[in-house]
Amino acid sequence: MLAVAILAAGKGTRMRSAHPKVLQPLAGATLVDWVLQSCEPLNPHRRLLVVGHQAERVQQHVQHRHQQVEFVLQQPQRGTGHSVQQLLQPLADFTGALLVLNGDVPLLRNATLRRLVDHHHRSGSAVTILTARLEDPRGYGRVFCDDRQRVTAIVEDRDCTDEQRRNGLINAGVYCFHWPSVAAVLPRLKADNQQGELYLTDAVGLLNPATQLTAEDATEISGVNDRGQLAACEQVLQQRLRQQWLAAGVSFLDPASCSLSPDTRFGRDVVVEPQTHFRGSNSIGDGCRIGPSTLIEDSQLEAEVEVTFSVVRQARLARGSIVGPFAHLRPGAVLEERCKVGNFVEVKNSRLGADVKAGHLSYLGDARLGRGVNVGAGTITANFDGTGKHPTTIGEGSSIGANSVLVAPVTLGRDVTVAAGSTITKDVADDGLAIARCRQVEKKDWRKPAAPHRSGSVSEAGEKTKSSP
Ligand code: UD1
Ligand code: MG
């Protein structure tokens, strides 16, 4: 039987942040999301998360996104050993294996954790730790073994002698314990180290036999203690996401310039142009072409949609829609089949029927447009009267002349024509032509009136003439 515990109570002082370290954003999720995700395929019997610093925030975030996590409070935070001591009570009756992970190791692959757990079961050890051999082991605890490759001690970087510091075998912060064995030694931990904390690593030194498994890919064990390491992990996760989708049939013209979120799904033959970013939860249908320089967030795009140089947030785009360049689709924008939304058009909380065209310089907010409506350049739905928002409805086949203002609430029937430059304040029935602007006045043979004689004007010679009294 396997339980998993993630240590996430620390403050993360080295991040210099107002937010708990494990909630730092990372590749479309947070640090702790990636750690939880890495253990999920092991199907653990129990999942425990030790929280402490800003415990409520961490708990709130995690319980919204992950199922069946038990929260254990560590207050105050006196080190990783103290963190695991908090599990003594909730795991009082547990007799299986406990996989412990630091909450700041987001790059672990599930296959590596599986190998660690298998190795632990095969070896019958009291504990098996994950290690890596690093050229630059600075900051990590160093692992010391005897000639039978049994772990004898882990010494923290800051507690090492110069000689010990040269050892490149490091502790990844991932441990598979036989729980009853470690539970027996946890009360014996002492805070006799540079930080005055209770170290989980000291518990490893007290267990026998303690074995280790060295990770094949050392990047997987990277711990995040500062912003530099966070940025490095972002790069690794982004690279993995892109590789996953390249392998699944998505083209990236300049992969390194694009970023993805774990909840973005692509169909086949999608082309992603440079500088394009996907955030949150998206589905991108077959044959879409996205970018360059586009942001798509929490949106669904059906097949064959094109979006260029645009921002699309919480929107739904049906098959064959063409968006941009320089369009802004805001929450609640719904485009039915083959819509065209062009440059400098903003759409918010509006449904555009099939084949609607809004090509230039418009704002459509809280509006419903029937099939085939043509929105002239510069059309604005004036949806806000200073206190509340109001709807605009435009029936199918209607045509709105350029530079019109539709003052909501207002309803236009089917096949209505609005003359260019109109300010529409009243409903228009089906088939009507609405003209709401001043009539043009033309004065024939008009001449500019002569300029009135002004005192103190400058003479041709450039001298000031005296005004007569
Ligand atoms: C730890 C290990 C080190 C290892 C490294 C790997 C110890 C003593 N050292 O060092 O050997 O090489 O990880 O990345 O374990 N936490 C708590 N409660 C606390 C303190 C920390 O839950 O009181 C949590 C933190 O939230 C964090 C994790 O434990 O997720 C590790 O703590 P951190 O301070 O980052 O330890 P490191 O110095 O990185
Ligand atoms: Mg750390």
Q: What integer pLDDT is reported at residue 458 of this predicted model?
A: 54
Distance CA 8, CA 22 (A): 6
Q: Does residue 374 fall inside a structural domain? A: yes
Task: Answer yes or no: is pLDDT of 70 > 80.
Answer: yes
Degrees, nearest 5: CA angle 199-201-205:
120
Summarised one tens digit per residue, pLDDT across range 282-308 is: 999 999 999 999 999 999 999 999 999
Place of tokens 């903003």: 346
Summarised one tens digit per residue, pLDDT across range 192-218 is: 999 999 999 999 999 999 999 999 999
Q: Does residue 347 fall inside a structural domain? A: yes
Do 265 and 217 lie in a common domain? no
- Of the residues 75, 78, 80, 140, which should be mutated to test ligand 1's pocket, given the most ligand atoms within 8 Å of the CB? 80
Confidence of residue 468 (pLDDT cuts 50, 70, 90): very low
Give the number of the ligand closest to the Cα of residue 11. 1
Buried b (16+ CB within 10 A) or exposed e, 389-419: eebbbbbbbbbbbbbbbbbbebbbbbbbbbb
Q: Does residue 176 fall inside a structural domain? A: yes
Distance CA 450, CA 436 (A): 35
Do 416 and 339 lie in a common domain? yes
CATH of the domain at 396: 2.160.10.10
Do 7 and 85 lie in a common domain? yes
Task: Answer yes or no: is pLDDT of 20 > 90.
Answer: yes
Q: What is the mean pLDDT of residues 367-379?
A: 98
Strands 405-407 and 423-424 turn out to be parallel
Q: Which residues make up the environment of ion ligand 2, defined by Cβ < 5 Å?
A: 104, 223, 225
Cβ-proximal residues to 235 (8 Å cutoff; 6+ apart), any chain: none
Cβ-proximal residues to 450 (8 Å cutoff; 6+ apart), any chain: none
Q: What is the mean pLDDT of residues 259-278?
A: 98
Q: What integer pLDDT is reported at residue 457 of this predicted model?
A: 52
The closest residue, in CA terms, to atom 16 on ligand 1 is 10
Better-predicted residue by pLDDT, 469 or 127: 127
C-alpha gyration radius of the chain: 33
The model's pTM is: 0.91
Do 161 and 245 lie in a common domain? no
Q: Does residue 466 fall inside a structural domain? A: no
Confidence of residue 455 (pLDDT cuts 50, 70, 90): low
For residue 246, give its domain range: 227-434
What is the distance in A from the centroid of ligand 1 to the CA of 126?
Answer: 21
H or E element in which residue 399 lies: strand 399-400
Which among 19, 66, 121, 360 is annotated as catalytic? Answer: 360
The closest residue, in CA terms, to atom 28 on ligand 1 is 102
The closest-lying atom of ligand 1 relative to the alpha carbon of residue 11 is 26
Do 394 and 271 lie in a common domain? yes
Q: What is the mean pLDDT of residues 12-33?
A: 97
Pocket of ligand 1 (CB under 6 A): 7-10, 22, 50, 52, 74, 77-80, 82-83, 102-105, 140-141, 154, 156, 170-173, 199-201, 223, 225
Do 202 and 239 lie in a common domain? no
Number of domains in the chain: 2
Q: What percent of the chain has pLDDT over 70?
A: 97
Last residue of a domain, one of 202, 221, 240: 221
What is the distance in A from the centroid of ligand 1 to the CA of 80?
Answer: 6
Give the number of the ligand closest to the Cα of residue 158. 1
The closest-lying atom of ligand 1 relative to the alpha carbon of residue 7 is 22
Last residue of a domain, one of 221, 238, 267: 221
Confidence of residue 454 (pLDDT cuts 50, 70, 90): confident
Q: Does residue 447 fall inside a structural domain? A: no
Distance CA 402, CA 102 (A): 60
Do 31 and 71 lie in a common domain? yes
- Of the residues 23, 102, 129, which should be mutated to test ligand 1's pocket, given the most ligand atoms within 8 Å of the CB? 102
Cβ-proximal residues to 64 (8 Å cutoff; 6+ apart), any chain: none
Confidence of residue 127 (pLDDT cuts 50, 70, 90): very high
The one-letter amino acid at 111: A
Q: Which residue in 372, 380, 322, 378 sits closest to 352, CA to CA?
A: 372
Q: What integer pLDDT is reported at residue 467 of this predicted model?
A: 45
Check: CB of residue 39 under 8 Å from CB of residue 47.
yes
Do 187 and 67 lie in a common domain? yes
Mean of the per-residue pLDDT values of the chain: 96
Q: Does residue 361 fall inside a structural domain? A: yes
Do 190 and 264 lie in a common domain? no
Q: Is 66 labeled as catalytic in the residue annotation?
A: no
Last residue of a domain, one of 192, 221, 250: 221
Do 202 and 260 lie in a common domain? no
**CA distances, 461 to each of 3, 171, 455 (Å):** 99, 92, 16
Q: Does residue 443 fall inside a structural domain? A: no
Q: What integer pLDDT is reported at residue 469 of this predicted model?
A: 43
Q: What integer pLDDT is reported at residue 389 of this predicted model?
A: 98
Give the number of the ligand closest to the Cα of residue 103. 1
Summarised one tens digit per residue, pLDDT across range 306-349 is: 999 999 999 999 999 999 999 999 999 999 999 999 999 999 99
Q: Does residue 268 fall inside a structural domain? A: yes
Distance CA 102, CA 50 (A): 10
Do 207 and 96 lie in a common domain? yes
Summarised one tens digit per residue, pLDDT across range 392-450 is: 999 999 999 999 999 999 999 999 999 999 999 999 999 999 999 999 999 999 998 99
Do 324 and 394 lie in a common domain? yes
Check: CB of residue 167 under 8 Å from CB of residue 140.
no
The closest-lying atom of ligand 1 relative to the alpha carbon of residue 225 is 35
CATH of the domain at 198: 3.90.550.10
Distance CA 27, CA 329 (A): 23
What is the distance in A from the centroid of ligand 1 to the CA of 15?
Answer: 13
The one-letter amino acid at 17: S
Q: What is the mean pLDDT of residues 79-106?
A: 98
End-to-end CA gap in the chain: 110
Q: What integer pLDDT is reported at residue 453 of this predicted model?
A: 79
